[in-house]
Chains A and B, each alone.
Chain A
Amino acid sequence: MHGQKRAEYKARLLHPDTRAKLGSKAQQWNHLSEELLKQRRRLFSSPPPLSDIDTRGKANEGNAAAAAPSPEVLLALTEKMLSVNPDPSHLWNIRREMLVYLIQTAPPSAMNTTDDDQEGVDNDSSAKSSILDIEVELKLTAHCLQRNPKSYSAWFHRKWALVYFMNGSTSQQEHWTNMKSILQSELELCVQFLQLDERNFHCWNFRRFVVGLLGSSGGSDVTTTSENDGEVNNDDDEPTTTSAVDNFSGSWSAWMHQIEEEDKEVWMGPQISQNACRAVGMSTGSKDGSSDAIKSTTPLSKRELEKIIMNEWDFSTAKIQDNFSNGSAFHYRSKLLPLVLEFRSSGDSASSPSEAYEAISLARDEWDAILLDAIFTEPDDQTIWFYHRFIVTWARRNTVVVDGADAEVTEEFEGLLYDMVDSIQELIDVEKEDSFEGNTQDRHESKGAKCKWAYLGMHLVLSTLLEFKSNEVDDEDKIELRERTKECLDELMRIDPDRRERYQILESKLYR
């Protein structure tokens, strides 16, 4: 679509032939929608006898009442319609409704034929999953997402299918292994989608979701020797997601609502954090209620978790290397940072520096390896400055340790901040200099090179330094810092008059 004039595009659409074609398609679509809703209504107004034998019998012999709509037809219809237009969420809802309906009304006898591993197991959950053909749903959603990579409802359906499939079954090892390979291929799919559009936040979200599932999907029997108890005994200890599935009524909003009630975070990925913490043997602190939100069959070994996390870390690095103007990638990184820190600082017990120290050095790595190069490559890109802001505040938070400030940590953090000041100052100097004339004096601010973000970043670093030293007496250093901070704000007021008031407030705080 790029590179063609809108007028041409419009003209093509308004061409009688095209219009006729589109018109006939629209008619077909409307006809299908009506028919679909009608059939669904009929299906539920006259529910088929719940006796299993009757249902199957009808299906097999095919001589039952012609009027009774079949869920299979509705399923096929939604598939066709959705592959043309993946957006209408009511179609997805109907699809899920039918899938669940079919599974719930299916006789247990059908289960034996579909899944031969489960003969011995006779509980509800095993009966449920065996009918959802995950491959069909994955294929359909993949096709829909190719058509529209930003279709909320298609992405959601994919998530739903994965979770439904994952939780529907027993906690048999084989199932988990199978699930793992599915999840791995989901990660591959994310790679492909992000290759096409590196800023597709739907896909980034989905990736975090998949990684979350992967993290709670249980360890493989090979490596989990120390952490697990050797036995798989979680039949009555289902993941919470199952309860959501149990009560699933087929509607998206109800689904989301339910999840919110239980634990919003489960869906955003922290389950892996939970697992990580448990495996590493650390307390997560704040999350008391949610700590048993997800219990996988077998907790992942620390090494496995580290592998997953570091793989994601490297992935975000690679994406940022491709194009650092990518808020999603930085956001992902910010979510991964605490986990990476855990792995880093839990190395050799005695000799390794404290976690706080490790946090600072991680922040420094981010500064050296990514931020510094990025701000010098394109200082007007907000994305990097936001990440810079995150890194500074995150590192600042990490300097506050339980047993008071560690002198070494403090020194290291200050060193990092001073390095930042130097580099940003250097950037401002290069930007400000009228490079072709060599003078920095009569530069017209209106003609580019305002460096607003550099000043903002500078202000952040300077004020963090000041805040850091707030307990010290006013020595020369501090006075100079304050002076520079004020200069920064003054400059910002000049080049960004729209936010003048904000800068004034910031300035007033300086001398408080």
Chain B
Amino acid sequence: MAEASQDVYDVIICGTDLIQSILSSALSRAGKKVLHCDGNDWYGGFDAVLYGGGTLDLFVEQCMENQRQEDNKNAVADVSDGVLESETNFISILPKEKYASLRLHSQTILGQTNDKTTSADVVAKDDTVESKIEKLAIHNDAVDGEGGEDSSHASNNNLQAPAPSNSIDDDQVDGFSLDISPCLLYASGDAVEGMVKSGVSDYLEFKSVEGLFVLMAEDDSTKSTSRKVNRHRNKRGDTSEKVDDKTLNEKPLVSYRVPCSKADVFRSKLLSPVDKRRLMKFLQLITDYGMVMASQSTEVAADDDDTLNDNNNEEEIPSTSTNNNGDDAIQSVNERHLHRGRALSRPQNKATPSSSDMESLIRCVRDGVSFSDFLRTVVKLPDRLAVVVVYALALSPFGYNTNDANNGPMSDAMARVSKYSTKDGVEDLLLHVTALGRFGNTAFLTAMYGSGELSQAFCRSGAVYGSTYMLRRPPLRITFEKDSPRVSGVVLGGEGIAGFEDGLDQEILCEHVIVPSTMIDPSVVRNAVRTRTYRRISILRGKLVKAEREQNDTDNSSETEQRYAIIIPPGTRGLSNQSAIHVLAFDDSVCVSPRGKQYTVLHLTMTSPEDCDSHDVFDETLGKAVHHLIESQLSTNEEASSVEECHHVSFSFTSDSPNNITENSQTTGLHIAYRDTQSITCDSAFREAKRIFDKICPDADFLGLSKKVEDEIVYRNEEDSDDEKVVLDSAVTMIEAPLSTSTASQEEVKPTQDEQPIDNN
């Protein structure tokens, strides 16, 4: 494997993040000769899953290393870091610890701390980092509001000693699988389609996410309806509890189930009746819009309606003809789109939506009206509900602007990310809405053992189709042909291979290079907008989300399994977060925490619109968010008081999104992969992979199975045993055999009961 021959490869892929792994699998399927290299010892890059006591420590150490370097030679190094140097004809790739300028902000040590873990050693070695981290630790304590009992922790001057009650036993440490970038999958979307088509799903297991919640301050308007009810209660003589407005502000935030499907809207305690009506109308309109768009691009595969049509919108939608087509499309929904989720479908006696609503939506999409304005003025959703739509339904991290002048002027970066047009919003919504009702209670799936398994699965399938894999070989430079913008190869570092002493760098030739934007210096990616993603991984003792009681009747099994997504919209009281915080909570039901132990792994993600230096603020916000999350569950259940955070690690890295996709036209063969900023699902990785794939192999089938494998599968399915035939055969033999005696027949009766598959319940 390590024999990097002098062959010329078609494609060299740098890094094993999810996008590159998908590409590796797809390109090798398309017959390309692929070399896939990664400087790390493990697969996945920034999509990797880290294991407690193993790769997690390595990762943390790497963060430290980077920080130490940066702190030591702060201003010195920056100048020389690889800019495209036209004379030398190469782009240097950052050393692996500098990818995406990863930074560690604060952490507590995982595991019983008497033996020094590796990361603790690192802390001890470097004064500056230690003091910095310690300072943050104090911050967090203050935030927790439990400074009293934890003050020993802060004043101890020793980061390694979290309160003993909080720590995790040593032998349980390796039971944790922590994702650097955890993600879900839409139950029906690009990711699932890609995995089913490619057969990669055979390598993985998934479970449904049990609930999508939004964490918000309680609202007064919902009070009014309950007051109405109370009025009658009072008549009856019940004394209803009086709501004290003053205490309202100190009340913990409340987590509401996000109303996505019809049943959700019906059950939702977040909405007033009128809001329910407006939201349902709006959601149905969105699904209809999806149908109309799909029907208008019949030449495109039916499922690609979300991405592919958009370019055609302007030409293809003359507003007059649309209406008729649209109505037809929606009325024939049952025939054409039965395979889609029907969580929002109308009753059969009413198939037609209001066509004037559709007209206005199409007009707003065409005119580039901002999504916030659309929701507020056209759909007439109240602010609070519009916030839910933007952040918890469209799942955008940014984008809802109250038309409030009081907020003061926005920073440039903020204004940039806040541009969220109706078109963007509707597309994001469609992704979510079409994935509803497919599997489980939400639109989401989550991979067992962490979402980092995805990239490993794709790498494995890539290897099956002939990709060459090289771990521990960091790419150093991308070289170009002389006096030409054409890529000639990649120089791989030799170091890190055991027994390979001289560590010779080696140039390997190729036609295409795929490199993530995070691996190269920001100055090379000129058009891109750099944002910084802040992550906090917390390990909680206890179950964060308590089971809802009404649900218990129908599904007992998932009662306390923790597979939840929680959205905290921007500007939430007490947090003043700039972007939405996406929270994922998992437990041992997906094998990310030690089996049988009551731990919940909490992933928090938020984004800063610019790569600024105020890391502390963000880190602190995430810490507070954890506190709020725990508290929000407190109000509903007293047992929740047993939930406490016993470990966390907080870090950040940058990601770039291109302003316009017309990248690097001056080079050929270089493809830069952009990871999506803070997407709760990884479907965008598949779209990005497809984009690059289409450039390299314009006519090939993306992620198709080879004919041979496909035949195998068809054959396998055909061979399904026909139990009807088995039973009938046995019955026929029973009467044809000379069964004159009842003893013989009684013998016959026995085996038939065994061979029937009736003991399923």
Contacts and interface: CB of A to CB of B under 8 A. Distances in A.
Given A58-B742, A62-B741, A318 B761 contact: no
Interface in A44-101: 58-60, 62-68, 70, 72-73, 75-77, 79-81, 83-84
> For B263, B378, B551, B730, which residue has the most chain A Cβ atoms within 10 angstroms?
B263
Given A25-B725, A318-B550, A447 B356 contact: yes
A139 B757 CA distance: 10
A438 B634 CA distance: 43
Interface string B734-757: 110011111111101100110011
Contacts of B212: none
Nearest to A80: B731
A430 B278 contact: yes
Nearest to A146: B760
A419 to B, nearest CB: 8
B743 A60 contact: yes
B554 A3 contact: no
Contacts of A80: 727-728, 730-731, 734, 752
Interface string A473-506: 0000000000000000000000000000000000
B277 A377 contact: yes
Contacts of A146: 758, 760
A349 interface: no
Contacts of B729: 28
A449 B742 contact: no
B612 interface: no
B732 A28 contact: yes
B263 A322 contact: yes
Interface stretch (A222-230, A253-261, A367-375): A367-375
Given A318-B550, A321-B266, A361 B236 contact: yes
Interface size grouping (class) on chain A: 35 or more
A35 interface: yes
Nearest to B275: A376
A364 B232 contact: yes
Interface string B173-204: 00000000000000000000000000000000
B379 interface: yes
> For B277, B338, B731, B744, which residue has the most chain A Cβ atoms within 10 angstroms?
B731
Nearest to A142: B761
A77 B735 contact: yes
B745 A70 contact: yes
A314 B554 CA distance: 10
Contact of A321 (B550, B740, B752): B550
B289 to A, nearest CB: 13
A21 B263 CA distance: 44
Contact of A73 (B228, B229, B745): B745
B724 A73 contact: no
Contacts of A76: 734, 745, 748-749, 752
Interface string A175-189: 000000000000001
Interface stretch (B143-151, B342-350, B561-569, B600-608): B342-350
A511 interface: no
> For B722, B728, B732, which residue has the most chain A Cβ atoms within 10 angstroms?
B728
B356 A434 contact: yes
A423 B276 CA distance: 13
A32 B733 CA distance: 10
Contacts of B739: 73
B669 to A, nearest CB: 41
Given A321-B267, A373-B273, A84 B355 contact: no
B349 A382 contact: yes
A175 B300 CA distance: 66
Contacts of B263: 321-324
A84 B760 contact: no
Contact of B728 (A84, A321, A412): A84
Contact of A427 (B277, B744, B753): B277
A72 to B, nearest CB: 5
Interface in B208-253: 228-229, 232, 235-236
A362 to B, nearest CB: 12
Contacts of B376: none
Contacts of A366: none
Interface in A353-368: 353, 361, 364, 368
A338 interface: no
Contact of A77 (B361, B731, B758): B731
B352 interface: yes
B645 to A, nearest CB: 33
Contacts of A319: 554
A435 B379 contact: yes
Interface string A418-443: 01000100110011001111000000
A72 B232 contact: no
B380 interface: yes
B684 to A, nearest CB: 26
A224 B756 CA distance: 42
B743 A372 contact: no
Interface in A149-190: 189
A192 interface: yes
Contacts of A382: 347, 349
A448 interface: yes
A353 B236 contact: yes
Interface string A378-418: 11111000000000000000000000000000001001000
B660 interface: no
A248 interface: no
B262 interface: yes
A31 interface: yes
> For B355, B551, B745, B749, which residue has the most chain A Cβ atoms within 10 angstroms?
B745
Contacts of B745: 70, 72-73, 76
B553 A314 contact: yes
A123 B476 CA distance: 94
B729 to A, nearest CB: 7
B752 A64 contact: no
A75 B347 contact: no
Contacts of A378: 262, 266, 280, 346-347
A232 interface: no
A374 B730 CA distance: 52
B419 interface: no
A189 B760 CA distance: 11
Given A76-B745, A377-B265, A66 B756 contact: no
B279 to A, nearest CB: 9
Contacts of B714: none
Interface in B557-591: none
Contacts of A381: 347
A415 B232 contact: yes
Nearest to B759: A139
A29 B731 CA distance: 9
A252 B761 CA distance: 27
Contacts of A318: 550-551, 553-554
B339 A2 contact: yes
Contacts of A2: 338-339
Given A322-B263, A377-B277, A377-B280, A84 B727 contact: yes
Closest 7 CB pairs of A and B: A143-B758, A66-B740, A3-B339, A62-B741, A436-B360, A376-B273, A80-B731
11 contacts: A32-B732, A66-B741, A72-B746, A73-B745, A77-B731, A80-B727, A140-B758, A373-B266, A412-B232, A435-B357, A437-B356
Given A379-B277, A436-B360, A448-B352, 14 more contacts: A28-B731, A32-B728, A72-B742, A72-B746, A75-B749, A140-B758, A191-B553, A317-B550, A321-B266, A321-B267, A324-B266, A378-B262, A431-B277, A447-B355
